[in-house]
Structure 1
């Protein structure tokens, strides 16, 4: 069975590499390598948004939220997962008109505020995507250990190397080409694995009820997830690349709504399996993993497709993240003398510590929450860049105020500055609403107030 599983996973990765290399960028300009400018239809973008946004996290987080918090918080999580696409679909046409030759969120920040804010945004974006990469590779290692006898390190390194090969050679076009196939494959595998898993559920007890917590608590969790996921994913450079890859504004809008709609459905369905698991009394394990609890003692013909599903999910998000990091490096390369080769080597170099972290099998949820909070503190000042009255000072002050605002709830609630800082670092890896609300409110108020006081409008 070990050899069969290894062969199937190897074949899946080879297929992804073939599809990516077949669509490779050949002797084109840097611009085409990082944006595939004005070339993608709405359907391609919709499938790409779905595939690039769906990582192995959907097999862990939505089922756990559904099992322990209930449908209200799960709906918030689904909305938060889809909202970044919708924001870019609505806001993207304005960005395209304001920056027709743009390539990244960093260039957008520079066009609005100057090089200082650009460097800050680049640092936040690369840091967030590196955390995302580590989380995805860690997840596939954990899933491999749960569902097979294949060494987890072999799969982690295999996914990292395979995706690096076709993204380094093919650029964004390679990622988009694999996304189309990966999206259809993951939908088919989700349907197949989910259907069989439902069929294998034990008889539902007559007293079974939907898992739930008090409405106020559920709303708090839902709002926290909406803010955290939306703010962080708006610094996902892979999504910003697709703003300029769209054939036109209409393709971008329709593609964003299509990707967002499919994302909501997928997250709700996979989270629903978590609710059914806890309602049926299935032991959820320690730590609890409702989706994989449903696969306990499952036959090989079911665990193997589930493992292929996990590899597909990870590969589709990892290649987007790798290409997004490369695009930040080569942004404005003609003016700065940065070559595509240099961008490739920087991406490879960044993957080394990411893979090392993933091989440790650590939990990165707390790192994710901290990265999400950092993004939440500066997302509003960055997106206000198209407002005529916004200034670099207002944006930077707003970002600093957002960071301070994140610690105020814990500071006031526990009467200590240190307690506020600790609360904003999410001890116990528990998402709490206070730091996110403080960050969003403080950054917005300070940015808008200082911009309103400015006497100079942008030209």
Structure 2
């Protein structure tokens, strides 16, 4: 989690009420279980892997791995922009000072200690920052409960306890968006593959899920309290609801929140930096380039990240762009985890992922009757809360369209390969079970299941 939660969750509360808060919190926390479920499977299929793209390279080949690596780096880049934008806005909203110096200091400090300590130092700092955040959340929650005066008449007038269209739409949109986007976050996969055992992974993910669910629910409820206390006007910008509420509280509470926000931001940003270094080194350069060149390149990347962060109009929109990309790509990618889809190739994944985005454009053009608005729907420029069915349709079009394009690509590939086999007078082998790589140490796998031994399939793009 980063400091962006102080904007996005209270904003949703002012628009979709309690229903939106609960859906958003549950949709953010529960998908973490996918790492406990899939990481052991991927680790068995790809023992030397430590990020998702390593399994992708093994299963689908180099081209698909580079495609997924590019999307992973793009996602990490967008998350870094969102994080720095959020902490800058937090400082400006709470202190009235320019947030740029804080952003620069955070970048310098996290770059220094992640460069010296690698991803291990990110683990250590996360533990310290996590403990501080839990303590600060408890103090802030008690203070808000004791010092804020809620006006009963505003509760009924707000309608935030009632079900609403956006709240019902989010029951589908948010789980799809967040679950698929988690696959692109290499910092999550690094943690999953770093677990000592599958049992440890389940314990760690389960604890994280519970803590995150509690924290996000509390943060989201500040949007409700801001409305019910009169601090936030219904027609205002919901992203600042949390900070309007803080204006009614003592200065020492504001100080606590600033500390909490900085802890959240650094904990998220150092993980994103480490993940970008690991992904670039492994996915693009196959660990053949000196790691310090990679770290230097990531430092250079931070410069445009800072520039864009200062101009980012909406943190939530940044997340949504990444969500739509993942919703189009991940469904066609994970089919390869099943042995029943052994005939699924990288060509289908690439065409399906790109086709899913094209399907969003086609849907938007038809729905709005305007190609320009259809293009804007890919960027979700109108957000999630327009009250129409545009965003909802986009998150249906992306995964469904991706799968349809993927199976269409499969049909084309099989037809072409069949025709070529007839022309060349060779056997049609496109549906043969791919070659498997024999285990390097058969004694070590003596007690393993057959699935663990035979499913290391050599990757093919066609």
Instruction: State the distance in 2 between where 1:153 and 1:82 align.
Output: 31
1:368-404, CA deviations, whole angstroms, 9 ceiling, x for partnerless residues?
3222211211011222222323211221222122112
- Are the counterparts in 2 of residues 74 and 222 from structure 1 also a CA contact under 8 Å? no
- Maintained 8 Å contact 1:67/1:276: no
Pick from 59, 83, 107 the counterpart of residue 54 of structure 2.
107
Change (3 A) 1:333 1:430: closer
The answer on 1:395 being equivalent to 2:357 is no
Q: Which runs of 5+ in 2 are unaligned?
A: 386-390, 415-429, 436-462
- Aligned counterpart, 1:423: 377
Question: What's 2:5 paired with?
Answer: 58
Q: Is the 8 A contact 1:333 1:339 kept in 2?
A: no
State how many pairs are aligned: 406
- Unmatched 5+ stretches in structure 1: 1-53
Aligned to 1:181: 128
| Alignment match of 2:98 (pick from 151, 155, 165) | 151
Secondary structure of 1:331 counterpart: helix
1:83–1:342 distance in 2 versus 1, CA, 3 Å: farther
Residue 215 of structure 2: aligned partner: 266
Counterpart for residue 432 of structure 2: 456
**Residue 423 (structure 2) aligns with:** none
Q: Is the 1:72–1:222 contact (alpha carbons within 8 Å) kept by the matching residues of 2? A: no
Task: Flag the 1:167–1:381 CA change in 2: closer, same or farther, 3 A.
Answer: same
Q: Which residue of 2 aligns with 1:315?
A: 266
Task: Please tell me whether residue 438 in structure 1 is matched to residue 385 in structure 2.
Answer: no
Give the Cα–Cα distance (whole angstroms) in 1 for the partners of residues 35 and 300 of structure 2.
30
Distance 1:270 1:192 in 2: 13
In structure 1, the partner of 2:358 is 404
Contact 2:5–2:216 (Cα < 8 Å) also in 1: yes
Determine if contact 1:238/1:320 at 8 Å carries over to the other structure: yes
Instruction: Find the structure with the greater CA-based Rg.
Output: 2
Q: Secondary structure at the match of 2:48?
A: coil
Partner of 1:118: 65
SS of corresponding position for 1:311:
helix
Q: 2:237 aligns with which of 287, 292, 317?
A: 287
- Please state how far the C-alpha of 1:318 moved relative to its aligned partner: 0.2
Map of 1:22-421 to 2, 5 A cutoff?
54-206=1-153, 208-209=155-156, 211-212=160-161, 214-284=163-233, 286-288=236-238, 289-331=240-282, 337-360=288-311, 362-387=313-338, 388-421=342-375
2:256 partner SS:
helix
- Contact kept? 1:136, 1:314, Cα under 8 Å: yes
The CA RMSD over aligned residues, in Å, is 2.3
Query: Is contact 2:8-2:315 (8 Å) kept?
Result: no
Q: Hey, what does 1:447 align to over in structure 2?
A: 406
TM-score normalised by structure 2 residue count: 0.82
- How far residue 226 of structure 1 moved from its aligned partner, in angstroms, is 2.0
What secondary structure sits across from 2:152 in the alignment?
coil
> In 2, Cα distance between the equivalents of 1:343 and 1:175?
17
